[in-house]
Amino acid sequence: MADQEIILTNASVEVDDETVTVEGNSIAIKEGQGESTTKAASNGGNIVVVTSEDITTKIGMVKFEMPASVNSMNLARDFKARGAGRVVRVSGLDPAGNRLGRTLTQGVMTNDPEKAIQSEGKVEVTFEGAPLAAS
Amino acid sequence: METLTFELSTPIKYSPGTGAEIDGTHIEVSPPNGKIAHLIGTLKAEIMQATKTSLDGIDLSSLEGKQVEKDNGDEDDEYGEFAFTALTMGGADMKKVFVTFKEIMKSSALMGGEKPFTEPMWNRMDYPDVERCLKEYIGNFMKA
């Protein structure tokens, strides 16, 4: 087993097969495997653990920020206008050559981002859809 | 000139806009037009320069339009094969060749005949498909 692991800090984001310019340290994903709850119950005086899966949380998510250039602002507007049915891919290689690849299908841009027209401005974009698939 | 339909030996995934990914098995490439004339010119110059360097004295026009049938039954364009060989043996700037060809594809190809060909699609293509596509493109559209 490797005695050192290096965190992946740069990845590629594609929306509908087009690469997107993203701010550093801004990409975040949620696999959409869902949340589970546990509670204790009594069975004849014995304590049993009851678990349940909340299927309403099985939502995949890809979130990132774009520099607030005019191009990015228009792109974010375009993403929103396209509505549902987007495919978003995130992929990257760490320095050791380990690959991360995730694909969000049935995606829709859920947020309505504030677009700051200023130095260092950013446009935050969030896509949600089916649980992420490894790719 | 007719649209070239290039069959991929290794399908690549793309999103047609339905929310799902599908396997793309072919690419439709339109004939060159004025929009990409500068790219065609760049590619043609590399071919001619490399040909001159590697195979000085051979008359290219004698190969125009010639088709050969290989043992496996596939037809291939001899000119495309010849030009690619000339490029690689003649010291052509292959980075320039492939970058130029990528831009040509992005400007004139449709994945699955429906979705504009993009850089990520190019990145996902297997190298043998890239090379074969380049040969077919040269053979079909650059003989003149």
- Number of domains into which chain B is organized: 1
The answer to whether B120 contacts A106, with C-beta atoms less than 8 Å apart, is no
The answer to whether B20 contacts A87, with C-beta atoms less than 8 Å apart, is yes
For residues B122 and B111, is the Cβ–Cβ distance under 8 A?
no
Asked whether residue B130 is domain-assigned, the answer is yes
pLDDT given for residue B90 in this prediction = 86
Taking the CA of residue B12 as centre, how many other CA atoms within 13 Å lie in the half-sphere pointing to its CB? 24
pLDDT given for residue A3 in this prediction = 79
Asked whether residue B19 is domain-assigned, the answer is no
Give the chain B residue whose CA is nearest to the CA of A128.
B19
Residue-wise pLDDT for A67-103, tens only, equals: 999 999 999 999 999 999 999 999 999 888 899 999 9
Q: What percent of chain B is modeled with pLDDT above 90?
A: 62
Higher pLDDT, B59 or A130: A130
Residue-wise pLDDT for A7-31, tens only, equals: 888 899 999 999 999 999 999 999 9
Shortest Cα–Cα distance, B98 to chain A (Å): 19
pLDDT given for residue B74 in this prediction = 47
Reading the block at residue B32, the tokens are: 């060159």
Contacts of B118 in chain A (CB under 8 A): 17-19
**ipTM of this model?**
0.75
Asked whether residue B36 is domain-assigned, the answer is yes
Beta bridge partners of B1: none
- From the candidates B12, B14, B15, B123, which should be mutated to test the interface with A, based on the most A CB atoms within 10 A? B15
Asked whether residue B135 is domain-assigned, the answer is yes
The answer to whether A17 contacts B18, with C-beta atoms less than 8 Å apart, is no
A23 touches chain B (CB under 8 A): no
Residues B68-78 have a mean pLDDT of 52
Higher pLDDT, B42 or B64: B42
pLDDT band with cut points at 50, 70 and 90 for residue B63: low
Which long-range contacts does B45-52 make (Cβ < 8 Å, 24+ apart)? B46/B87, B46/B92, B46/B93, B46/B96, B46/B97, B46/B100, B47/B83, B47/B86, B47/B87, B47/B92, B47/B138, B47/B142, B49/B90, B49/B92, B50/B86, B50/B87, B50/B89, B50/B90, B50/B91, B50/B92, B51/B83, B51/B86, B51/B90, B52/B90
Question: From CA A64, how far away is CA A124, in angstroms rounded?
Answer: 6
Residues A43-69 have a mean pLDDT of 96
Asked whether residue B137 is domain-assigned, the answer is yes
pLDDT given for residue B73 in this prediction = 43
Residues B52-69 have a mean pLDDT of 61
Residue B60 pLDDT exceeds 60? no
A84 touches chain B (CB under 8 A): yes
A17 vs B15, B19, B20: nearest CB: B15
Asked whether residue B48 is domain-assigned, the answer is yes
Asked whether residue B79 is domain-assigned, the answer is yes
Shortest Cα–Cα distance, A86 to chain B (Å): 5
H/E element holding A28? strand A28-30
pLDDT band with cut points at 50, 70 and 90 for residue B68: very low
The answer to whether A106 contacts B20, with C-beta atoms less than 8 Å apart, is yes
Asked whether residue B123 is domain-assigned, the answer is yes
pLDDT given for residue B72 in this prediction = 47
Please state, rounded to an integer, the average pLDDT across all residues of chain A.
94
Q: Write out the residue range of the structural domain in which residue B104 sits.
A: 31-56+72-109+116-141
A85 vs B13, B14, B18: nearest CB: B18
Question: From CA B144, how far away is CA B34, in angstroms rounded?
Answer: 15
pLDDT given for residue A5 in this prediction = 85
